[in-house]
Structure 1
């Protein structure tokens, strides 16, 4: 595909992600920029999810690290790199943060368990909060307090993903729920890997959901009034993800053998109502 931005658009649209719906109402330049960032995240995430040979995946992530370097030196080769080159000319996106996203993906190659919340928090920061910080730059802000909002919202999104994908991740041999919390709620890892639902598991998931909601509340409390309008795409994502969290809870946390999702129509409705609410 000759147009790098068209490649990114295709990558974003084909993913079916909720993020795509939050971009729809943005002005063209910002929509193009956030789509390029999202396509970058998808590319490096796909390396980990689709590459079953760890050494090959490591090599591909190193290739992407080099691609980031080339973006900032003006010589990228990949369509996403070419699109990002345009983006960094117009928006303040630090190289270190793009590399930190790759560091987060690297963690997936090196470990399948997290000892405690502190260890998981570092992972969530790298794969989600950093994306939130970069997105806040693209959306535009006047007040630096908005970056605290973006950080916490990223945490909330990643915790929601973890809750939704417990079963799917377990089938890949990964458990993101902290080991010390599994022990506290008396949920053996084997039970999760075998997809065995229990009252203890339900209590554990209610605890994880409460933590996610605390991060949503904390994020909203930190969003300055003057930046609320520019940061509406994040608020759209939050509306979609919080609704998803409510659905998972209403279903009794049956996440071990199914993946709860919202219909595209419902996502568009939530996106539209959130955008026009301002």
Structure 2
């Protein structure tokens, strides 16, 4: 199996909405973004699938060394072998790749965030820099486009947090800021024990409005010149905002189950966004 095939398989198996945004890209850009996505999945799985924290930390340390090897032109892993040819053509910064690894390590260091600024720093590491790298691959000619991508990455991560409250709680993690739990009189025990309440709905409505605002702030700074090139991100935004609406319509019953869109609906949203340009 070639490195590109390995990354393609990794992306397809994930079932992620990101996969649908790649479908309409030219071949080389699609290879690059698929390799980047596979890299993110590999590093994320290092933490999510590890049963021993020391093993997870050792693996993350290995990935840092592997990024260094890739930057030096000597990658050894299928993902870095697939990604390395795209570093220079798409101006992919190794510091951003290392920042993603740092973000994954944050999940080993803490399972709670005191306030929104602290959560936002985490979101930058695991999503904002991914947005910047992705926008570079899609084609960014203006610095404002990278600002848009960073903001969009934040919006995506906030949406993920809303969708995954129950799933994360079952792993012992609560990403909703402690200060906001207190503001809406929802306890950590309520989250961990999946106790849905009116207070929880109000808390989640507050989180949803913040996510919606993040999307609007991202759209507002995207230059018209780059809009066409950035359609993959806009496709993702269409899918994620529809998901957010579904969660809202379901009155935020995310503690008991994970709400998702069907593949055919994702594909329809992707196509509709693509042809709209």
For 1:72-221, what aligned pairs fall within 5 Å after superposition? 72-221=71-220
- In 2, Cα distance between the equivalents of 1:28 and 1:196? 47
Write the deviation string for residues 103-149 of structure 1: whole angstroms up to 9, x where unpaired.
Answer: 00000001000000011000000000100000010001221111111
- Partner residue, 2:54: 55
Aligned residues: 277
Q: In the TM superposition, what is the alpha-carbon distance from 1:89 to its structure 2 partner?
A: 3.3
Q: TM-score, normalised by structure 1?
A: 0.99
Q: Does 1:243 align with 2:225?
A: no
- In 2, Cα distance between the equivalents of 1:275 and 1:61? 36
Q: State the SS of the aligned residue for 2:87.
A: helix
Q: State the SS of the aligned residue for 1:89.
A: coil
Q: TM-score, normalised by structure 2?
A: 0.99
- In 1, Cα distance between the equivalents of 2:216 and 2:272? 20
Q: State the SS of the aligned residue for 1:30.
A: helix
Aligned structure 1 segments of 4 or more residues deviating by more than 4 angstroms = none
- In 1, Cα distance between the equivalents of 2:247 and 2:131? 23
Q: State the SS of the aligned residue for 1:197.
A: coil
- Partner residue, 1:14: 13
- In 1, Cα distance between the equivalents of 2:106 and 2:143? 29
Which stretch of the first structure deviates more once superposed, 140-149 or 257-266? 140-149
Q: State the SS of the aligned residue for 1:265.
A: helix
Write the deviation string for residues 2-23 of structure 1: whole angstroms up to 9, x where unpaired.
Answer: x101100000000000000000
- In 1, Cα distance between the equivalents of 2:119 and 2:248? 22
Note the aligned Cα RMSD (angstroms).
0.5
Write the deviation string for residues 197-218 of structure 1: whole angstroms up to 9, x where unpaired.
Answer: 0000000000000000000000
Q: State the SS of the aligned residue for 1:126.
A: helix
For 1:256-267, what aligned pairs fall within 5 Å after superposition? 256-267=255-266
- In 2, Cα distance between the equivalents of 1:87 and 1:147? 18
- In 2, Cα distance between the equivalents of 1:188 and 1:276? 45
Q: Which runs of 5+ in 1 are unaligned?
A: none
- In 2, Cα distance between the equivalents of 1:175 and 1:270? 30
- Partner residue, 1:5: 4
